[in-house]
């Protein structure tokens, strides 16, 4: 009996020491299971030594002390048993409450699923994510540290299965992200963000965002790269009129100011920058384009030369009309008048001979007045024909590309089609202006010829009248 009591006391004291050790150490964190296992192992290894220590202390005590120790151990054991029973009852009660709450949650989640709330939320998340994928507002609205970005959150919510219910926090954040995007679209703000430079390096710069349309930094337009979630400088500067509008917008302090807005977040501006220049387009026309341009340049040069000459002739003829009695040889009308008068020592009285002499003088002046007009008419006719040749060559290149690749990829056919269209444009581009140029030269020359015919007819009529009444 004494040995049994001694064993019970040792076990009770060991339990008290173990319980005190665990109570002193506090509850182990949920993520430190390895530490808890090590602690349990160490305490289990130390229990025999503690049991022997308590046994020796009990054996060395007197009978009264042993009885007191027995009573204390028995009271501690009863207290521990009562605490264990209370915890067991509380655990069972909690199990029942958890089961009831789980049933209520499942009932409410089922009602929400039947009403389509979760389906609508997932579909809305997918739609919002697709809209915000390329929005440059993402360069400003960075997620807090340790929190998933808005696109990652939206895609995760949209990918949820039908069996899983969206939480209240997810629904709240979905509403918040939608509201934040709508609010940011109506703002013109300046913020610091990384910008990829033309040489590929990234630098933190001050960025001006104009709604969801345009972003600028240091007077340069930026393009948003959704795959990298960052802004980049356009490879080439935009036209000066775009920059002037931007500087005017930056300088505005009140009222409304025009500015370049790109609803595609920089894609249209990038396409505008990638447009080929006129020299690049001309190179695309190749040899046929060069020939057409050469003909156009020659036509323009001869047109300007003949235009200057005809204007000078027209002014000289106008002065001669004011001095018909004093003909000069520096203009066609003066030369016709001199030819009509002939040699003063031999006065021609025959009207037929006078008419022939006047006709000869006028015909001698007409080729000078109509000079280069035949070439211009030829250039007007040859321009579209040469453009047609370039069109046929471009289509041949296009069909050859289709035959070689076996596909009708527009990017592969762009070269041939571009050559065809450029040749056509160049042909019409020289034909139409030269057509108007030739019409202008023809009008000026015909005006001078009409003056010559009119004056020669008047002089002939005067000669015939003098002969009749002589």
Rg, the chain, Cα only: 51
Q: Are residues 284 and 410 in the same domain?
A: yes
Is residue 255 domain-resident? Answer: yes
Is residue 457 domain-resident? Answer: yes
Q: Are residues 198 and 286 in the same domain?
A: no
Q: Are residues 269 and 237 in the same domain?
A: yes
Q: Are residues 253 and 340 in the same domain?
A: no
State the DSSP string of 297-335: HHHHHHHHHHHHHHHHHHHHHHHHHHTTTS--TTSHHHH
The whole-number average pLDDT for the span 358-385 is 80
Q: Are residues 460 and 327 in the same domain?
A: yes
Is residue 122 domain-resident? Answer: no
Q: Which of 83-92, 186-195, 285-294, 356-365 has the lowest mean pLDDT?
A: 356-365
Given a cut of 70, is residue 1 above it in pLDDT?
A: no
Q: Are residues 244 and 307 in the same domain?
A: no
Q: Are residues 298 and 421 in the same domain?
A: yes
State the DSSP string of 235-299: SSPPPHHHHHHHHHHHH--SS-------TTTTHHHHHHHHS--HHHHHHHHHHHHHHHHHHHHHH
Q: Look at the chain and report how many structural domains it folds into.
A: 3
Domain boundary among 57, 88, 109: 109
Q: Are residues 340 and 434 in the same domain?
A: yes
pLDDT tier, 14 (very low <50, low <70, confident <90, very high otherwise)? very low
Is residue 66 domain-resident? Answer: yes
Domain boundary among 235, 255, 274: 274
pLDDT tier, 409 (very low <50, low <70, confident <90, very high otherwise)? low
pLDDT tier, 211 (very low <50, low <70, confident <90, very high otherwise)? confident
Domain boundary among 80, 109, 138: 109
Boundaries of domain holding 368: 279-468
- Integer angstrom CA distances of residue 7 from 10, 23, 45, 403: 5, 24, 18, 99
Is residue 268 domain-resident? Answer: yes
pLDDT given at position 90 = 92
pLDDT tier, 182 (very low <50, low <70, confident <90, very high otherwise)? confident
**Higher pLDDT among residues 290 and 83, named by residue:** 83
Is residue 231 domain-resident? Answer: yes
Is residue 141 domain-resident? Answer: no
Angstrom distance (rounded) from CA 132 to CA 135: 5
Q: Are residues 259 and 353 in the same domain?
A: no
pLDDT given at position 340 = 65
Q: Are residues 29 and 94 in the same domain?
A: yes
The whole-number average pLDDT for the span 431-456 is 83
Q: Which of 105-114, 240-249, 345-354 has the lowest mean pLDDT?
A: 345-354
Q: Are residues 343 and 303 in the same domain?
A: yes
Q: Are residues 337 and 247 in the same domain?
A: no
Given a cut of 60, is residue 391 above it in pLDDT?
A: yes
Write out pLDDT tens, residues 20-75: 444 444 444 445 677 877 877 777 777 777 777 777 877 777 778 878 888 888 88
pLDDT given at position 351 = 61
Residue from 261, 263, 225 nearest 134 by CA:
225
Is residue 171 domain-resident? Answer: no
pLDDT tier, 398 (very low <50, low <70, confident <90, very high otherwise)? confident
pLDDT tier, 204 (very low <50, low <70, confident <90, very high otherwise)? confident
């Amino acid at each position: 009996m004494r040995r049994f009591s001694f064993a019970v006391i040792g076990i009770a004291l060991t339990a008290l020491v173990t319980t005190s050790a665990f109570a002193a150490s506090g509850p182990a964190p949920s993520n430190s299971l390895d530490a808890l296992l090590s602690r349990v192992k160490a305490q289990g290894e130390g229990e025999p030594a503690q049991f022997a220590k308590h046994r020796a202390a009990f054996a060395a005590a007197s009978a009264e002390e042993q009885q007191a120790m027995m009573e204390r151990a028995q009271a501690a054991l009863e207290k521990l048993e009562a605490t264990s029973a209370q915890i067991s009852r509380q655990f069972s009660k909690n199990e029942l409450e958890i089961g009831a709450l789980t049933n209520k949650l499942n009932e409410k989640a089922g009602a929400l699923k039947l009403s389509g709330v979760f389906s609508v939320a997932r579909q809305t998340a997918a739609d919002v994510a697709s809209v915000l994928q390329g929005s440059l507002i993402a360069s400003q609205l960075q997620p807090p540290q340790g929190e998933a970005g808005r696109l990652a959150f939206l895609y995760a919510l949209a990918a949820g299965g039908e069996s899983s219910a969206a939480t209240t926090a997810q629904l709240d954040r979905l509403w918040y992200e939608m509201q934040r995007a709508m609010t940011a679209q109506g703002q013109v703000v300046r913020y610091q963000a990384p910008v990829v430079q033309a040489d590929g390096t990234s630098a933190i710069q001050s960025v001006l965002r104009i709604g969801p349309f345009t972003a600028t930094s240091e007077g340069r337009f930026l393009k948003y790269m959704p795959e990298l979630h960052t802004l980049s400088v356009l490879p080439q500067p935009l036209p000066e009129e775009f920059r002037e509008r931007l500087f005017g917008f930056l300088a505005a302090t009140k009222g409304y100011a025009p500015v370049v807005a790109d609803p595609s977040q920089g894609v249209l501006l990038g396409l505008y920058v990638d447009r080929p220049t006129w020299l690049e387009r001309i190179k695309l026309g190749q040899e046929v384009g060069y020939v057409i341009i050469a003909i156009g340049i020659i036509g323009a040069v001869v047109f300007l030369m003949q235009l200057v000459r005809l204007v000078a002739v027209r002014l000289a003829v106008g002065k001669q009309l004011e001095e018909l009695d004093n003909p000069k040889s520096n203009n066609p009308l003066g030369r016709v008048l001199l030819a009509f008068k002939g040699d003063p020592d031999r006065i021609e009285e025959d009207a037929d001979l006078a008419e022939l002499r006047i006709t000869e003088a006028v015909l001698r002046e007409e080729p000078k007045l109509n000079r280069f007009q035949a070439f211009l008419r030829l250039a007007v006719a040859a321009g579209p024909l040469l453009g047609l040749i370039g069109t046929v060559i471009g289509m041949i290149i296009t069909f050859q590309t289709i035959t070689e690749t076996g596909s009708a990829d527009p990017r592969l056919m762009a070269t041939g089609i571009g050559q065809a269209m450029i040749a056509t444009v160049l042909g019409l581009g020289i034909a139409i202006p030269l057509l108007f140029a030739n019409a202008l030269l023809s009008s000026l020359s015909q005006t001078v010829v009409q003056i010559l015919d009119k004056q020669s007819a008047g002089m002939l009529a005067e000669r015939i009248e003098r002969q009749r009444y002589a």
